[in-house]
């Protein structure tokens, strides 16, 4: 790897868990190999600016309106095979655009944090059109069909069960490294609880329930919040609405003047939010789950989306770090039982920490740098 090595991260859209994983790895790359140069490509905005938003909107509508259909389609090998002929022309178009974007950047290493990006590029890698090594970073506790390819040089995976699943699908053991889902160093260096609560203007003595629906603010957060407020009037609610402007406006109108409800729109202050909270109510995206685990924060998972969220939910509940909830009206009772039982809360906090990999971004970066070094001149590492 040369002293001016170029590492290109490719993901679906921004903001998203996939872009957050890329950001975490980029931050560690600056520390481990400061002479390296990193840049990123978004499939949605740079490769497919017209089709990307349409696909994203259709995906959200599908999983919200017909979750059982998506659950059937997700990672269904028979369906994937049948759709391959339909998908290939679209992938070929994106591949040509992505090929041009990569050619302009002349990468020494390409890192995909999204399965579709990896599926688009693995053909070029197999045909020798992509000469730089190709790495895939899995950000969920399951393996989507699009990830699996003999042409991906290295996989970074969250946990040993994911590694075993790739091995069962024919991936060579030396091409799979268990590193954890990349967590930004900000979560490792987060403030303590008292400091975080002061910064967020929260009562330092009252329990804090964090509500979060991902970058898009998905889920019946209004109903969940009302259930929690009725059952736990002493608790504070910290609500992160993401990019959901309608949700933010509705909650602002409803809870104007309520000192027990603190609202945030899209924010970069998530390390503070996680540090301030006693429990998280939200979606089990891989990045969210890993960030929560890094902070020892138990999850109450509401109606996980089909596919990857179901797999993440299964992993977290088996580990004892989360509980699953289907009826929003039951949230208040669930939170009351948890927050008023210090022993149970402490057990879930410990379970969350056991699933955490605070060094995940650093370990992942070292694996990526090792891959690049095996394919070109080594870069100096700190």
Q: What is the pLDDT of residue 312?
A: 96
Could you tell me the domains of the chain?
Answer: 6-183+359-375 (3.40.50.2000), 186-355 (3.40.50.2000)
- The angle subtended at Cα 112 by Cα 33 and Cα 275, nearest 5°, is 70
Q: Element (H or E) spanning 246, and its range?
A: helix 245-254
Strands (E), 219-298: 236-240, 261-264, 279-282
pLDDT digits (tens, 9 = 90+) for 127-176: 999 999 999 999 999 999 889 999 999 999 999 999 999 999 999 999 99
Interatomic CA distance for residues 103 and 295, integer angstroms:
40
Tokens of 219: 């889920």
Strands (E), 153-206: 154-157, 176-178
pLDDT digits (tens, 9 = 90+) for 225-279: 999 999 999 999 999 998 889 999 999 999 988 999 999 998 989 999 999 999 9
Q: What is the pLDDT of residue 61?
A: 59
Q: What is the pLDDT of residue 242?
A: 86
Interatomic CA distance for residues 173 and 175, integer angstroms:
5
CB-CB contact of 263 with 241 (8 Å): yes
Give the C-alpha distances (Å, rounded to integers) separating 141 from 17, 181, 292, 308, 337: 13, 9, 15, 7, 28
Q: What is the pLDDT of residue 379?
A: 41
Q: What is the pLDDT of residue 206?
A: 96
Q: Which of 38, 36, 50 is nearest to 93 (CA)?
A: 50
Low-confidence residues in the chain, pLDDT < 70: 1-4, 47-93, 214-217, 377-382
């Amino acid at each position: 790897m040369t002293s001016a090595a170029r590492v290109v991260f490719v993901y679906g859209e921004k903001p998203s868990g996939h872009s957050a994983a890329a950001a975490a790895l980029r931050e560690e790359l600056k520390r481990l190999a400061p002479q390296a140069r990193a840049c990123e490509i978004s499939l949605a905005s740079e490769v497919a600016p017209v089709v990307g938003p349409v696909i994203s909107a259709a995906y959200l509508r599908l999983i919200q309106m017909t979750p059982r259909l998506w659950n059937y389609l997700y990672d269904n090998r028979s369906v994937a095979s049948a759709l391959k002929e339909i998908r290939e022309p679209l992938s070929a178009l994106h591949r040509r655009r992505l090929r041009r974007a990569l050619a302009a950047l002349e990468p020494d290493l390409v890192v995909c944090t999204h399965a579709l990006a990896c599926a688009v590029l693995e053909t070029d890698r197999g045909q020798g059109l992509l000469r730089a090594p190709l790495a895939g970073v899995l950000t969920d506790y399951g393996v989507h069909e699009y990830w699996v390819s003999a042409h991906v040089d290295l996989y970074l995976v969250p946990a040993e069960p994911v590694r075993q699943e790739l091995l069962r699908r024919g991936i060579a053991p030396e091409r799979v490294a268990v590193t954890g889902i990349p967590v930004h160093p900000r979560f490792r260096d987060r403030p303590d609880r008292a400091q975080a609560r002061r910064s967020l203007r929260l009562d330092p003595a009252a329990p804090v329930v964090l509500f979060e629906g991902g970058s898009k603010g998905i889920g019946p957060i209004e109903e969940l919040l009302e259930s929690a407020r009725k059952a736990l009037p002493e608790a504070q609610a910290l609500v992160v609405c993401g990019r959901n402007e309608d949700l933010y406006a509705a909650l602002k109108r409803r809870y104007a003047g309520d000192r027990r409800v603190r609202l945030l729109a899209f924010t970069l202050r998530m390390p503070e939010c996680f540090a301030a909270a006693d429990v998280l109510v939200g979606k089990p995206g891989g990045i969210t789950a890993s960030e929560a685990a890094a902070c020892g924060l138990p999850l109450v998972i509401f109606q996980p989306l089909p596919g990857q969220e179901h797999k993440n939910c299964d992993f977290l509940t088996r580990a004892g770090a989360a509980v699953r909830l289907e009826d929003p009206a039951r949230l208040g009772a669930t939170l009351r039982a948890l927050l008023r039982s210090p022993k149970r809360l402490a057990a879930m906090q410990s379970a969350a920490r056991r699933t955490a990999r605070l060094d995940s971004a650093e370990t992942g970066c070292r694996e990526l740098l090792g891959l690049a070094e095996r394919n070109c001149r080594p870069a100096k590492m700190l």
